[in-house]
């Protein structure tokens, strides 16, 4: 790890000012950035610690909207009574991120901003059509994720909260890597009245919506409806963990399991 300056601002405005050089990096839980720096794959001149900025953690519910502060840890999302009551699939997703040490330190804002191709939260943000709130604007889920580790955020822009609409039903299922616990494939399914959104993580360089599955489930929101279709492997990841054909198969398997959960079946291990 190379030398770097460390800043711990007391408010959001000070944090934004410290990031104005475009090279310094914000850090909250540090679950990705710090290991990357130790491997010398990243060498920012300074870290701006967001962890003590007030007002950026916690969960609030207003009507059919659940707002989660960006500094909320995975564990706090998984155990939040409000989230368990309103969007149990989101709580379930948070509960299978990493291991207990990661869940007690990592934050939802950091995970979403990092946009790792195998991360879980991006599937929930995209599947639930959430709104990413920053220090200066609001970004819809469909416009937020751009590519591999790439989002619509400016270098000095900070996520402050994420607003999730409450669905009529939702479920998340993932096939995890035994080494990293990231998703080889994860599928989040959400139904809002006659509309269905399906977001896939782990299968491609960036989280994406699977429109073919959405169309089938909009007509028949049952696992059996998905036995009649398959998806092409083109554009999906192939690596030492799984090739594109296997990932295409897993997308359909995880989609069926996600629908099962949305309809009330317990999550599979």
At 269 the pLDDT is: 65
What single string gives the DSSP state of each residue in 23-69? SSEEESS-TTHHHHHHTTS---SEEEE-TT-TTSS-EEEETTEEEEE
What single string gives the DSSP state of each residue in 201-253? ESSSSS-EE-HHHHHHHHH--SGGGGGG-----TTS--SSS--HHHHHHHHHH
Q: For residue 222, give the nearest of 244, 197, 255 by alpha carbon.
A: 255
Q: What pLDDT digit, counting tens, does each position of 212-238 carry?
A: 999 999 999 999 999 989 999 999 999
Residue 101 above 80 pLDDT? yes
Confidence of residue 2 (pLDDT cuts 50, 70, 90): confident
At 266 the pLDDT is: 77
pTM recorded for the entire structure:
0.96
Residue 180 above 90 pLDDT? no
Confidence of residue 178 (pLDDT cuts 50, 70, 90): confident
User: What does the DSSP 8-state code read for residue 98?
Assistant: S
Provide, rounded to the nearest whole percent, the portion of the chain with pLDDT above 70: 100
All structural domains of the chain, each given as residue ranges with its CATH number in brackets, are 1-49 (3.30.43.10), 169-262 (3.30.390.50)
Confidence of residue 167 (pLDDT cuts 50, 70, 90): very high
The three-point CA angle 157-161-167 to 5° equals 135
Residue 38 above 70 pLDDT? yes
Confidence of residue 183 (pLDDT cuts 50, 70, 90): very high
At 103 the pLDDT is: 96
- Sorted by sequence, the CB contacts under 8 Å of residue 245 that are 6+ apart come out as 233
**How far apart (Å, rounded) are the C-alpha atoms in residues 157 and 16?**
7
Confidence of residue 91 (pLDDT cuts 50, 70, 90): very high
Provide, rounded to the nearest whole percent, the portion of the chain with pLDDT above 90: 94
Q: What pLDDT digit, counting tens, does each position of 254-269 carry?
A: 999 999 999 998 777 6
At 191 the pLDDT is: 98
At 170 the pLDDT is: 98
Q: What pLDDT digit, counting tens, does each position of 145-166 carry?
A: 999 999 999 999 999 999 999 9
At 76 the pLDDT is: 98
């Amino acid at each position: 790890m190379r030398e770097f300056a460390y800043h711990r601002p007391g408010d959001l405005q000070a944090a934004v000012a410290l990031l104005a050089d475009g090279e310094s990096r914000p850090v909250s839980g540090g679950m990705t950035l710090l290991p990357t720096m130790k491997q010398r794959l990243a060498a920012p001149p300074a870290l701006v610690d967001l962890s003590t900025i007030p007002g950026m953690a916690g969960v609030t519910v207003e009507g059919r909207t659940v707002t989660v502060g960006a500094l909320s840890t995975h564990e706090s999302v998984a155990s939040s009574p409000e989230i368990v009551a309103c969007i149990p699939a989101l709580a379930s997703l948070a509960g299978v991120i990493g291991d207990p040490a990661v869940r007690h330190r990592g934050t939802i804002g950091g995970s979403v901003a990092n946009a790792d191709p195998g991360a879980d939260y991006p599937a929930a943000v995209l599947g639930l059509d959430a709104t990413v709130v920053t220090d200066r604007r609001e970004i819809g889920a469909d416009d937020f994720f751009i590519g591999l580790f790439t989002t619509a955020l400016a270098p000095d822009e900070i996520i402050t909260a994420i607003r999730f609409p409450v669905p009529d039903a939702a479920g998340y299922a993932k096939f995890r890597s035994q080494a990293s616990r990231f998703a080889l494939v994860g599928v989040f399914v959400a139904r809002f009245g006659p509309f269905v959104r399906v977001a896939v993580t782990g299968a491609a360089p960036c989280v994406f919506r699977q429109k073919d599955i959405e169309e089938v489930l909009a007509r028949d929101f049952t696992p059996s409806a998905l036995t009649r279709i398959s998806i092409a492997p083109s554009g999906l990841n192939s690596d030492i963990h799984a090739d594109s054909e296997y990932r295409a198969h897993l997308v359909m398997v995880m989609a069926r399991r996600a629908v099962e959960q949305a309809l009330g079946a317990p999550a599979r291990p």
